[in-house]
Amino acid sequence: MLKDVNLNKVFVIDIETVPLYEYFEQMPLQMQSLWDSKTQFLRKDDKTPADFYERAGIWAEFGKIICISVGLFHSQKGKLHFRVNSYFGDNEVEVLNQFNALLSKQPKDLVLCAHNGKEFDFPYLCRRMLVNSISIPLQLQIAGKKPWEINHIDTMELWKFGDYKNYTSLNLLAAIFNIPTPKDDIDGSMVKDVYYQEKDLQRIVTYCQKDVITTAQILLRFKGLDAIPAENITLVK
């Protein structure tokens, strides 16, 4: 499986997102009304739009990106290594521009890999770039391309094996492949509070980097390779 994928041409990515505003009441009135319409069929009967706002970071129209972590494979003395770097901050434009600058230096055939990337990370990045008047890098552009021309790997899609009813979390895949869980501190539902209330962005960055490492290890298992030992993984400060 994936035997033809050249790991040296793969970037494993993960993004962390939060609502644009800490509280529902801080949104412009028009956006409050649009949030109500967007979520009316998702909310339970006892949930008001304000109650449901804690999930706003999931939608690119109502959220922003605060961290993008990127991991790349490389060989050293005949052993596979993995290096992770992160772009993060309160200013989404700066975060996106730093990520774009990285991709602009890469070849057009660079492969982007993420867990649930085709449903979340890749489209979310493109949408937020458009909102912020940032050009979408070539590696994320899919309009007009045939499926086999799109260099995107989604580890969740691979695990489906064509079963479109199946959703499998990164945490579950880590467990069945005996890979250390990335959710040993926080999970996605906690990111908003850690960001707005605890103001601990570095904790979120660490969580994002763990997701990247876990996704990379799962990708290796799909290729029939052993996991990379911790001593061969570098986190760029």
Question: Which SS3 state, helix, strand or coil, does residue 143 take?
Answer: coil
Angle between helices 92-104 and 121-131 (to 10 degrees): 110
Is the Cβ–Cβ distance between 16 and 60 less than 8 Å? no
pLDDT digits (tens, 9 = 90+) for 185-230: 788 889 999 999 999 999 999 999 999 999 999 999 999 999 999 9
**Cα–Cα distance, 16 to 219 (Å, whole number):** 20
pLDDT digits (tens, 9 = 90+) for 69-78: 999 999 988 8
* pTM across the whole model: 0.94
DSSP letters, 17-43, are EEESSSSGGGS-HHHHHHHHHHHTTTS
Please tell me the total number of residues recorded for the chain in this structure. 237
- Confidence at 1, pLDDT banded by 50, 70, 90: low
Residue 131 has pLDDT above 70, yes or no: yes
Model pLDDT, residue 92: 98
Sole residue written with tokens 């979310």: 124
Model pLDDT, residue 184: 76
Give the number of other Cβ atoms within 10 Å of residue 109's Cβ: 11
pLDDT digits (tens, 9 = 90+) for 34-76: 999 999 988 887 789 999 999 999 999 999 999 999 999 999 8
Sole residue written with tokens 């760029």: 236
Question: Which SS3 state, helix, strand or coil, does residue 165 take?
Answer: coil
Mean pLDDT over 138-155 rounds to 93
What is the residue extent of each domain of the chain? 7-20+62-235
Residue 135 has pLDDT above 70, yes or no: yes
- The single-letter code of the amino acid at 38 is K
For the domain 7-20+62-235, what is the CATH superfamily, name and number?
A: Ribonuclease H-like superfamily/Ribonuclease H (3.30.420.10)
